[in-house]
Amino acid sequence: MLRWLDDRLSDSDRRVFEAELNRSDALRAEVDTLRVLRQGMQETLHSEAAAAADPYLADRVLRRIAAPRPVFADDLALWLGQVFRPVAIAGALVAVLLAGYNVRLSQSFATESSTAEAMLGLPPVSAASVYDLDVFAAQTAVAP
Amino acid sequence: MRGRASLPPTFVKSMPELAFEPTIVHAEAPRRPQVIVPDQELVDRLRAGERRAFRAFVDQHQGHVTFTVVSMMGRTEEVDDVVQDVFVRFYESLDQFRGEASVTTYLKRIAVNRSLDALRRRKRWHARFLSRDDEHNGLREPAAVETLPLERNERAAEVHRAIAALSDKHKAVVVLRLLEGFSTEETADILNIAYGTVLSRLSRATETLKHSLQWLLRDAR
């Protein structure tokens, strides 16, 4: 029926359908019901769609497209930043405290260490001393 | 009439009023002189990064996309967002558009899917926030935006209620096949379902609509 209403039937099918339509009151009533139903709904919805149409749609869509969109990597970085920020702050604080403690400890041993060695709590070791086992042992021995 | 040239012949044929009532559409819109440009040419220009082409594209297709979304969702505040989404999605998926389907078919597919997504969100929202009392009264559709005269608003509300009472899968078939006049094959293609499924869903949905829109049939006789 819809194909007939849409004028999509082939000539032969259309002739057969229309012959049946002439014969059958029930089919005619059915087609009429479908046509009225469709037309009534279409008219109503067209009015609705026309009322809903936004004259500035193109501008708004273009603005949306032009706006920078957060990509997944950005979202992930944002999330990681939020989750790990407290941990990172606490970790940095602990590192500073440990460095201070190491510097203070190295001063109490009165050994000749570089600033970096002192902060990291490393024993004063030079490349030459590593090969001289006695000196190395003396340098790395823990003070009584 | 804007967008008319881009519609499939069947769409126009099945809705002759489209061709003769151009003043209904965007009657108050500040119109630029409308020149209908072939879809393929617009798509090529879009791919070349021409923004003006996209404006023309939206102007040409806005009417029938809005019709699909309003038919699927009713005349609610969400319609505007969904129509925007359809065009943004089309723009973003330009690379995937190979031209196997027509631009209108491609847009319809996006419009139906976006509308269904919005309807699902609406249902989830209802399920989450409505009290038990409201649930007993059934899902409430968002209030229609009252811009039409009362009688037309009531008719429209009745039509929307009848469509809203259908399941989403039946709704999509009714909108595309019965209201927009796509062929059964095109409807099956847009919804990615079998030909026979379109026919069976359409048959069942039409019976339901006949029952719920009896006043419309009575008025016409």
pLDDT in tens, B113-148: 999 999 988 888 777 776 555 555 544 555 555 555
Radius of gyration, CA atoms only, chain A: 43
Q: Tell me how many domains chain B contains.
A: 1
Model confidence pLDDT, tens digit, residues B164-220: 999 999 999 999 999 998 999 999 999 999 999 999 999 999 999 999 888 877 776
pLDDT at residue B13 tops 50: no
Instruction: State the amino acid at position B50 in one-letter form.
Output: E
**Domain match, A99 and A136 both:** yes
Radius of gyration, CA atoms only, chain B: 18
Determine contact: B181 vs chain A, CB below 8 A.
yes
Question: In chain B, which residues have their Cβ closer than 8 Å to the Cβ of A40?
Answer: 159, 213, 216-217, 219-220
Residue with tokens 């469709």: A38
| Residue that terminates a domain, selected from A66, A90, A118 | A66
Q: What is the 3-class SS of B122-139, one letter each residue? A: HHHHHHHHCCHHHHHCCC
Question: Domain range for residue B152?
Answer: 4-220
Distance, first Cα to last Cα, chain B: 31
pLDDT of residue B30: 42
Determine contact: B215 vs chain A, CB below 8 A.
no
Question: In chain B, which residues have their Cβ closer than 8 Å to the Cβ of A5?
Answer: 14
Determine contact: A53 vs chain B, CB below 8 A.
yes
Q: Name the strand (E) or helix (H) holding B48.
A: none
Identify the CA nearest to B83 among candidates B102, B63, B100: B63
pLDDT of residue A67: 79
Instruction: Give the integer Cα–Cα distance in Å for A129 and A107.
Output: 21
**Domain match, A58 and A109 both:** no
Q: Higher confidence at residue B166 or residue B32?
A: B166
Chain centroid, CA B90 distance in Å: 15
pLDDT of residue B1: 36
pLDDT of residue A126: 65
Chain centroid, CA B62 distance in Å: 10
In this prediction, the answer to ipTM > 0.90 reads no
Residue A7 phi/psi, 5° resolution? 60, 45
Question: Domain range for residue A19?
Answer: 2-66
Determine contact: A33 vs chain B, CB below 8 A.
yes
Q: Higher confidence at residue B66 or residue A142?
A: B66
**Domain match, A78 and A133 both:** yes
- Neighbouring CB atoms inside 10 A of B163's CB total 24
Q: How distant is the Cα of A29 from the closest Cα of chain B, in angstroms?
A: 11
- ∠ CA A44-B63-B171, nearest 5°, is 55
Burial of A107 per CB tally in 10 Å (0-12, 13-18, 19+):
exposed
pLDDT at residue B3 tops 70: no
Instruction: State the amino acid at position A81 in one-letter form.
Output: G
CATH of the domain at B100: 1.10.1740.10
What one-character DSSP code corresponds to residue B209?
H
Mean pLDDT of B58-69: 92
Contact criterion met (CB below 8 Å) for A54 and B83: yes
Model confidence pLDDT, tens digit, residues B73-117: 988 888 999 999 999 999 888 888 877 778 889 999 999 999 999
**Domain match, A30 and A54 both:** yes
**Inter-chain contact B66–A40, Cβ cutoff 8 Å?**
no
- B196 to each of B151, B191, B203, how far by Cα in Å? 38, 13, 11
Question: In chain A, which residues have their Cβ closer than 8 Å to the Cβ of B15?
Answer: 42, 46
Determine contact: A43 vs chain B, CB below 8 A.
yes
Residue B219 phi/psi, 5° resolution? -60, -35
Measured between CB atoms, which of B159, B184, B220 is closest to A36?
B220
Residue B11 confidence class, pLDDT cut points 50, 70, 90:
very low
Q: From the first residue on, what is the mean pLDDT of each consecutive set of 10 residues in chain A (144 residues)?
A: 79 86 87 89 88 86 80 76 86 91 77 73 67 66 59
Q: Higher confidence at residue B21 or residue A112?
A: A112
pLDDT of residue B31: 46
Contact criterion met (CB below 8 Å) for B202 and B177: yes
What one-character DSSP code corresponds to residue A110?
T
Mean pLDDT of B38-46: 83
Q: Tell me how many domains chain A contains.
A: 2
Residue B29 confidence class, pLDDT cut points 50, 70, 90:
very low
Question: In chain B, which residues have their Cβ closer than 8 Å to the Cβ of A65?
Answer: 54, 88, 91
**Domain match, A7 and A58 both:** yes
Determine contact: A133 vs chain B, CB below 8 A.
no
| Residue that terminates a domain, selected from A66, A90, A112 | A66
**Domain match, A62 and A78 both:** no
| Residue that terminates a domain, selected from A66, A88, A118 | A66
pLDDT of residue A69: 67
**Number of DSSP helices (H) and strands (E) in chain A, helices first:** 8, 0
pLDDT of residue B172: 94
